[in-house]
Structure 1
């Protein structure tokens, strides 16, 4: 009997959203609902497992950790891309790495929750209502007629664009590889440069894949091109924006606010400025956390394990 551990099951949802009983005659499955950041403690918790199921980048698997897990044979991650796994090191150690599909719908919806929350000052107005504060203390920002700038026009960006048009917004987009034909097919205008997009947009939303060309794409110089009334939303990956530069821009009021669902260190440290800045609407990386998406993740994780045990693993990474 092999052992399978599901890591970082924060909501204690994994075992109820897939038919793990299909593995019961071959694999003993259990989940860990807490996050373990210390590597020594983590190794002590998971080193007896032959199979690990992980959720995106919640727990990184660099080579140093993989070397300490000699029993590990299969690593399953949600999504088909996970930069927190050293896939080459895993392969060199005989560890199979598989992924699952992920729907673009949940992060699209959450992007709009952040945009609307910032544009209409929902956290502050709700807090005032609950705490007996002022009855109406802010003036909201109209989206109709405003310009939505999208950095990235893939599956998620294209869906965000469609909703922006439904709100009556002008939608423009830029990415390193975006051409006029793709922009036109999505019903948006292509900005010539990212600087043009930043200068023209009332809302900037990031939907790019993190890589060498996009890491630090928005630094101090780029943030200074945005207007003091502009909202920045990042539901993609934190390092696309220079985090120190973003904090300075928010503290100095050079942009109106930021909606953030991703951070360089997660869970977000208690002393992070993003926890205290009044013009930040921050969420604990829940963009993909919906019942249907989780059901897909964990059902396909079961399939990955079954096909691995049968000798023909599917959805291989790398």
Structure 2
């Protein structure tokens, strides 16, 4: 009888693993560890033929070096900053992601946050729910008309592009900063390209972050960058927590530099209990409280999308196990090496 492969899901997903087993059941045993930290993986992943990694933990060189027969590390999602790509490359293990599954949902969430903040809906809902202020618009003013205001996008990949198209539907003047996108994207989308981040920030009523977390983008929007934005503007981050300094966001909300902020992703997830952003969000007496819209890294989610990223992640694992060409390798120098079993 042919031996079955072993596929380990490190975190987030638990039983029932219907989507994964629908794809892999004929060739592999699928095990969900529900790990909360990397140390929880010790002794449980070493003989895995493939590993699926989500975002609750780091998958570092120490874990990768313990893999004895792994054919692929798959991130069933877009961001892969928690996986040591170089360590996997040195071991000849391809790292793959699912780059397309949440494009619509994250773009929807980013623009929804921006519109809710800029139209005063979130602020008034927060204040009036606890009986603060009169039952009218006065405490939320000034509220500017959206049409013609600039919606600045940092990172115009799949999700940034989808956000741009949605923002255009509201009559916003959409501009983007992304030094890695080819010339002509602005013309194809009917939006503006701005060559310097500081110029985008200085001219945008709303800034929405859609770039990956890399060494280049880590801490890219902190206090000095927020200070460049027009006073009373809005900042939304549905990308990665490390790109935006949330402590600086809270300070800018308290000072009035920012009129509102929508944060779906934090530097630490789940946040530590002494997190300044968590404290401000929970404290009705904090000046940032009513202007901060906080979500627990859920911009990507819809029921259909959940099945999609799980299924596509499992399909990439299956290709790796069967020695077939992989679709979305992110450590480019590594190719799948068929090893019949």
TM-score computed with the length of structure 2 as normaliser: 0.79
Aligned-pair CA distance for 1:94: 4.9
In the alignment, the residues of structure 1 paired with residue 52 and residue 225 of structure 2 have an alpha-carbon distance, to the nearest angstrom, of 38
* TM-fit CA distance, 1:47: 4.6
Following superposition of structure 1 onto structure 2, how do residues 1-318 of structure 1 map, counting pairs within 5 Å?
1-9=4-12, 12=14, 15-16=17-18, 18=19, 20-32=21-33, 34-37=34-37, 39-44=38-43, 46-47=45-46, 49-55=48-54, 57-70=55-68, 72-79=70-77, 82-103=80-101, 104-127=103-126, 135-136=135-136, 138-139=140-141, 141-177=144-180, 181-277=184-280, 278=289, 279-315=291-327, 316-318=329-331
Distance 1:280 1:220 in 2: 17
Compared CA separation, residues 258 and 91, structure 1 to 2 (3 A) = same
In structure 1, runs of 5+ residues without a counterpart are none
User: How far apart are the structure 2 equivalents of 1:313 and 1:227?
Assistant: 48
TM-score w.r.t. the length of structure 1 is 0.84
Shift of 1:167: 1.0
Contact 1:232 1:257 (C-alpha < 8 Å) held by counterparts: yes
The farther-off stretch of 148-157 and 237-246 is: 237-246
Q: Any idea what the Cα deviations from partners look like across 1:255-309, whole Å, max 9, x if unmatched?
A: 1122111222222222211213213212111222223332222222232232222
Say which is worse superposed, 221-230 or 286-295, in terms of deviation. 286-295
CA 31–141 in structure 1, closer or farther in 2 if over 3 Å, else same:
farther
- 1:129 is displaced (CA, Å) by 6.2
- Do the aligned partners of residues 61 and 233 (structure 1) sit closer, same or farther apart at CA in structure 2, a change above 3 Å counting? same
SS of the aligned residue for 1:172 comes to strand
Give the 3-state SS of the residue equivalent to 2:253 in structure 1: helix
Shift in alpha-carbon separation, 1:245–1:80, aligned structure 2, 3 A: closer
CA distance in 1, matches of 2:323, 2:68: 20
Structure 1 residue 113: Cα displacement = 1.9
1:176-211 deviation per Cα after TM superposition (whole angstroms, max 9, x unaligned): 356773323221223353222222211111222333
- Cα distance in 2 for partners of 1:253, 1:131 equals 22
RMSD, aligned α-carbons: 3.0
Q: Give me the whole-angstrom Cα distance separating, in 1, the residues matched to 2:15 and 2:40.
A: 23
Per-residue deviation at 1:42? 3.1
Contact kept, 8 Å, 2:100 with 2:158, in 1: the verdict is no
Deviation string 1:103-160 (CA, Å, 9 cap, x unpaired) is 3211111101211232244445445666566645644554233221222333222222
Gaps of 5+ in 2: 281-288, 332-341
